[in-house]
Amino acid sequence: MAVGEWAQFGVPEISKSALFAMVPVVVVMVVAAGDEEHGVRRLLIPALVGLGGLLLLLPLEFSGSLRGRLMQAMVCLAVVVVGLSSVWLYRLLRGMVLAETLAIVCLSNAAFLLVCSAVRGELVWGWSGLASVVSLASLVDVMEVVLLVWLLREMTPVRFAARYLVIPLLTLLESYVLVQPELTVRVISGVALLTAGAGILLFFKAGEEETMLSLR
């Protein structure tokens, strides 16, 4: 979220979605680094296939200015950090109860966002400014955080990272159903590749990855 706010003037939302679609590739590479049986490494191809399909569907736009390139580099760095941290957090939180997991994840993120708000001069001190926290939208956000933390602990990193392909796929399918634009070979190919890549990552047999993740 913080990176999205900082990079909103240098990297369009569509381009950020395409860049974050590289997270499954990073996760597969991190997990495969300790996979002595090479089982997880086979998932690198589906991750790349899904990424390629998304790139066929999204009109990418990148700024040529120095600031734009710095923002692009920041988003790419965030992609690597997300991939590394998802594997690390899975191993760290695997044996903990949900309450402990929520405390670790939420408090660490709250501290980080508090520092970011203080640096940007956007820290809210008054009760009137905090009133927006008590709302239906905030309740939905809380439910979303609880669900994500639970999935982070229960799903293997590769399957959890597949959401960076599944969410754009569902969004694109919804937009095509509502708008009904002309279907081209590029669109059909992109949807097919994105569906295949996301499906394989999401429904692959987790036994091989679980064996690898148990290694220390």
**40: exposed, middle or buried (C-beta count within 10 Å: 0-12, 13-18, 19+)?**
buried
**For helices 44-57 and 13-20, angle between their N-to-C axes, nearest 10 degrees:** 170
When pLDDT is averaged across residues 159-177 and rounded to a whole number, the result is: 89
Q: How many CA atoms lie within 13 A of 115 on its CB side?
A: 5
Residue 42's SS3 state is helix
71 with 10: CB under 8 angstroms? yes
When pLDDT is averaged across residues 158-169 and rounded to a whole number, the result is: 91
pLDDT above 90 (res 199): yes
When pLDDT is averaged across residues 99-127 and rounded to a whole number, the result is: 68
Q: What is the DSSP letter of 160?
A: H
pLDDT tens across 14-34, in order?
888 888 899 999 999 998 886
pLDDT for 166 equals 92
- Tokens linked to 25: 């590739």
**Closest alpha carbon to 4 in 61, 75, 73, 64:** 75
**Closest alpha carbon to 31 in 45, 18, 44:** 44
Q: Does residue 17 or residue 210 have the better pLDDT? A: 17
150 with 14: CB under 8 angstroms? no
- Tokens linked to 14: 């569509």
pLDDT tens across 175-187, in order?
888 888 788 898 8
| pLDDT bucket at 37, cuts 50 / 70 / 90 | very low
pLDDT above 90 (res 139): no
Q: Which pTM does this prediction carry?
A: 0.76
With vertex at residue 6, the alpha carbon angle to CA 147 and CA 66, rounded to the nearest 5 degrees, is 140
pLDDT for 52 equals 92
**Dist CA 212 CA 102 (whole Å):** 25
When pLDDT is averaged across residues 49-60 and rounded to a whole number, the result is: 88
pLDDT for 108 equals 74
Question: Which of 134-143, 178-187, 200-209 has maximum average pLDDT?
Answer: 178-187
For 54-58, 185-189, 206-210, which range has the lowest pLDDT when averaged over its residues?
A: 206-210
37 with 175: CB under 8 angstroms? no
Q: Does residue 209 or residue 92 have the better pLDDT? A: 92
